[in-house]
Structure 1
């Protein structure tokens, strides 16, 4: 439709000599001359489909008009200028350059057959050069616009991929938190509850301590779950108040309390810190706590161990976390956790550029979880 509109506009402009009264002595504006003029405009309908062919057709029909009909001329070769503009804007370089050179070569004999004046020659060369230059500017602008749009599309796709990856990482992080907190608390509570009836008959004071431990563990789990759910909320009340606790997640400083709670389940739990401790960022400290918590949870649930030892060794460049027990190790094939605990430990270590390995303990006895977190950036 655009090309048809351009052709109609050019036809309207070129109709001017046939509707304006002409001075005596000028060539007569006949119907035959008008129809032949229209024939030079019709090819513009296909100018963007075949620019070079349209330009050639226009040049040929204009030549026929000039040689066969003594009709009124035009102020400007409008149809030829539009065709040359289209060639410059749409055609590939070799075809565009050759066609442009031929058009400029045709200008000279055309002027010679018309007036032969230098003024007409210079004017014709200028207007055709301007049409060619406008076509090239249009091509450059369209190429730039396409490049900008392509770049915007690539950025949008990259942002979408990054958002999807961030969502996946956040889902994995939430899954680890949801696994670690209830799993640890429930494991301790189950062990204490199973020991409770026996202790009621043989040692009532131990039964009371077991029930107190169950209560404390449950409350601690609820506090941590409430904290995590509060962080996950999308918004807060208008007055800015919220029921979600604002305390940071537990870090290495909370490990002694964790060890004490696990020891109440009947395990002999040892804890040791070596080297010069350095302050850790909140997320790294929380990772240290969760790694130890999950390792101890695995011991309680699967190891059937009597003794477990936790060691944090601060070195010059790294923190080594070791949890060793004298049990049989996690039975991932039948364990309710499906082995997700060890996977979570590896994921937490990897999130902080660390490494994690697990396997038989020293001398092939028991089970050991060993995690190394780099500390060079915190020194």
Structure 2
């Protein structure tokens, strides 16, 4: 027999002994209800020990009460009528049922507490993962800017200097093609760095950073109408980063895939959550193709899930697309400010990331 069953059966016996002892000590005061100790023992055993120990508690407490408190004392099964015995059995059964119900309620509460603890642990891990992910993006962006991009820019400058010399050097056409290729590589690298960094978010706040994204979208030829809540920047750092990244991806989808020249973005807030909605009037797609569309919707859903949010997509071929992301505001305050796993600066940014942001660009 395992230790846990032994403990439960031992507790049931202890409950019986305690109940009978109390009834015995109060014998001069409580002259009626000889089986009261039995009812108490059964109720407590059912509450704390489970079904098997409850049966043991009933049998032992019943015999003890009959032996000690029923006349003639010192004998068992001394009921004068069958009805009297049935009454005791029914009463004990009711007590057992009540105790079992209480035991079930307590077990359910414990299960809920365990699930809540697991959910909180998962949330903390996801928040830490999000911080690490953003830190890695910042680091990669700086490495590209300070390493590869500088070599490419240097090569481009040398090619430009060669092309600016008088005369028509051999291979001029090839040099011009190489210079153009390097220029495109520089532009692509800078766009990549811009996508990795959250400098606009750090410098301008969430509203200003999204307005910067909208401006880029409009430069590319898509007019975007915007609507913001007044207190949109007063949210935890993790949420600001998540909303910014999702808005960045959604506006990129509008620009690259929708074929629409008009879009709308709204960022609203209520007491419980912050909601981002991006919709366009483009070509849209069938709902059955969302998972395989390649539009980054899976990544958007996963990013929202990191902060217990949800993402809903409404689209149909030829009828545009509407993406709604809703993220709750009541995330763990300590996780939100980065106190778990790493210290944080006043604005909630990881110190290593804050230092890296101060490096020359």
- Normalized against structure 2, the TM-score is what? 0.37
- Normalized against structure 1, the TM-score is what? 0.35
| Structure number with higher relative contact order (C-alpha < 8 Å, ≥ 6 residues apart) | 2
